[in-house]
Amino acid sequence: MRYFLFITFLFLNIYVFSQDYNRAAGIRLGEESGICYKRFMNDEKAIEARLGFKFGGLQFTLLRQFHQPISMKLTNNLFFYYGYGVHFGYKTISSEEITINGNTYYEKIFSFGFGVDANLGLEYHFLNLPLTLVFDYKPYYEINIPFMMRNSNIDFGISLFYTF
């Protein structure tokens, strides 16, 4: 009976604590730096849109995230999340300096691409401030035109969100 009560109490605590905001907007610094917008669909599921600047280009990323509280003993404001998503955009793959009749011109060659993303992160919501600090990891796999396949396992980032 003690185990039943303990497990019941544990699961009730997990569902009592949830994110205390519905939307957030902020900035992200990392391999893909830019602006972000997050909207919670319910206490655990969120959609995040990012418009990032990367490799001299622009990338739009859309992520679906699943949030879970980490520990009720330390703080009620620390969450772990995981998710998946897609991205598309363009980047500069080469830049060339050309001099004609003493005038210098710069030629840039762009590559358009799309891909799939995974997402893992830690999120801390400050108690008396409408701010959230996020550390995340976003590995991805993409296909670029002209035909190139690329994967990256180094897209770590830190974000600061204003919550409302």
Q: What is the dihedral of CA 80, 47, 156, 145, to 10 degrees?
A: 150
- What was the pLDDT predicted at 72? 66
The rounded distance, in Å, linking the Cα atoms of 116 and 114 is 7
Mean of the pLDDT values across residues 72-95? 88
Asked if 61 and 47 count as a contact pair (C-beta separation under 8 A), the reply is no
What is the pTM assigned to this prediction? Answer: 0.80
Is 90 within the bounds of a domain?
A: yes
- Determine the residue type at 113: G
Residue holding tokens 């009720």? Answer: 72
Asked if 160 and 133 count as a contact pair (C-beta separation under 8 A), the reply is yes
Residues of the domain holding 128: 19-163
| Helix/strand/coil percent split, the chain, to 5 | 10, 70, 25
Residue that wins the pLDDT comparison between 98 and 113: 113
pLDDT level of residue 93 (50, 70, 90 thresholds): confident
Closest CA to 63 of 79, 44, 77, 82: 82
CATH number, domain of 155, equals 2.40.160.20
pLDDT level of residue 19 (50, 70, 90 thresholds): low
Is 11 within the bounds of a domain?
A: no
Q: How many structural domains comprise the chain?
A: 1
Total length of the chain:
164
The rounded distance, in Å, linking the Cα atoms of 76 and 60 is 32
pLDDT level of residue 13 (50, 70, 90 thresholds): very low
pLDDT above 90 covers what percent of the chain? 57
Question: Mind listing the pLDDT tens digit for each residue in 32-63?
Answer: 999 999 999 998 999 999 999 988 899 999 99
Is 61 within the bounds of a domain?
A: yes
